[in-house]
């Protein structure tokens, strides 16, 4: 990762990603079995960043003025 102040040291991890339907918690909607993720540096003002490697496997609808987005698998 390259930041304004240089290149911070961050941890990289391999994790599985599964997204479930709350109405059917035993059925996975989307499974990404081996995803390389990066730890966010302390003070980053977001909880999660979704990368293009995940987004290229789904459809995304963005309503910018409404500040709403939908991801479909």
- State pLDDT tens for residues 38-71: 888 778 888 888 888 888 888 889 999 999 988 8
Domain assignment present for residue 6? The answer is no
Domain assignment present for residue 40? The answer is yes
Please tell me the pTM assigned to this model.
0.59
Domain assignment present for residue 3? The answer is no
Domain assignment present for residue 42? The answer is yes
Nearest-angstrom CA–CA distance, 11 and 20: 26
**Count of the separate structural domains present in the chain:** 1
Domain assignment present for residue 4? The answer is no
| Bigger pLDDT: 51 vs 9 | 51
- Return all residues near 18 (Cβ < 8 A) that are at least 6 apart: 28, 30, 31, 32
Domain assignment present for residue 65? The answer is yes
């Amino acid at each position: 990762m390259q930041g304004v102040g240089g290149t911070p040291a961050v941890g990289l991890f391999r994790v599985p990603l599964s997204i479930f339907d709350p109405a059917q918690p035993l059925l996975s909607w989307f499974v990404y079995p081996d995803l390389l993720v990066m730890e966010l540096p302390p003070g980053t003002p977001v909880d999660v960043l979704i990368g293009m490697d995940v987004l290229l496997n789904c459809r995304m609808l963005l309503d910018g003025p409404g500040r709403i987005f939908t991801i479909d698998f």
